Amino acid sequence: MRLRVRFCKTGKIRFIGHRDVARVTERAVRKVGLPVVYSEGFSPRMRLSFGLALPTGYESDGEYLDLPLMPDAVGGAAADGPEIACGHALHRPCAVETTAGGASYCSVAEALSDALPHGMYVSAVLLQERGGPSLQSAVHTCGWQFEIQHLSVADAADAAKQLLEADHVPATRVHKGRTLTEDVRGAIFALSVVDETSRGAVLAAELSATPRLVRPSELVPALAAGHEMGIARRTHQWTCTAGVRAEPATPAQCSLNRRQELVSE
């Protein structure tokens, strides 16, 4: 069995990289006492399996992590699913949360959230059978929201319309010290203006994650040359299995309610 964890990364912690996220997550898992599987050998390491790496500087409402559990840690006869024995507690499925993705463990989500640094918050924990494609290979597209600084909503809407009508959208990026220019028009599935802040227009986009992750920052020069991107956030990671579009896990209402309470305090 495994735990599939969905977590958020917002605020100043968006500036730490993927490896640092892995380290603080591993520390939180140890603190909670989750019975995860370790690698074998002279220097055993916790077997964490992350989804698509989030670019440094980006926020996210939907990052994912798979935690394989020790076989003897899952058992019991709870009505809504098995119990998970941790070093500090016995976690039972949430009685009010129902999902098709597996039994929901809101108490694990709460414990992990308390152990993570400010700005990281667990919004769902599901118990699932191991197997199937990895998180990185299963995700086909990502949803994003991003600001373009000092750009009006009207100008942003016109720019988005022109970009979607274009046959080619050249984008330049730096990869391993080389500057590459690619046509990313085929990687743009949706683009629209959804809001406005004091910094500028806010756009929503759905961009391809295969064969590589296309970032909102690659679109900004084509949308508004001379403008800079403000705060950008990944909102969704979409999979498609047998024609059915879904997320690896959806936020649990219990976790969302608790997060709102913490924000209100």
Neighbours of 146 (CB within 10 A): 23
In whole angstroms, what is the distance from residue 141 CA to residue 101 CA? 19
In whole angstroms, what is the distance from residue 241 CA to residue 172 CA? 32
| Amino acid 265: pLDDT | 52
| Amino acid 101: pLDDT | 62
| Amino acid 80: pLDDT | 64
| CA-only gyration radius of the chain, Å | 20
Locate tokens 């391993």: which residue? 176
| Amino acid 83: pLDDT | 80
Per-residue model confidence as pLDDT tens digits over 24-36: 999 999 998 888 9
| Amino acid 6: pLDDT | 95
- Burial (Cβ within 10 Å: 0-12, 13-18, ≥19) of residue 176: exposed
- The residue type found at 177 is G
In whole angstroms, what is the distance from residue 263 CA to residue 265 CA? 6
Q: pLDDT tens string for the chain (265 positions)?
A: 899 999 999 999 999 999 999 999 999 999 988 889 988 888 888 888 999 999 999 999 999 999 999 888 777 655 567 887 777 777 877 766 656 566 788 888 899 999 999 999 999 999 888 888 888 888 999 999 999 999 999 999 999 999 999 999 999 888 888 888 999 999 999 999 999 999 999 999 999 999 889 999 999 999 999 999 999 999 999 998 777 889 998 887 776 666 666 555 5
φ and ψ of 204, to 5 deg: -115, 140
Query: Cis peptide before 211, with omega less than 30 degrees from 0?
Result: yes
pTM for the full model? 0.87
| Amino acid 45: pLDDT | 86
Structure tokens that stand for 251 in this block: 């936020």
Per-residue model confidence as pLDDT tens digits over 216-251: 999 999 999 999 999 999 999 999 877 788 999 888
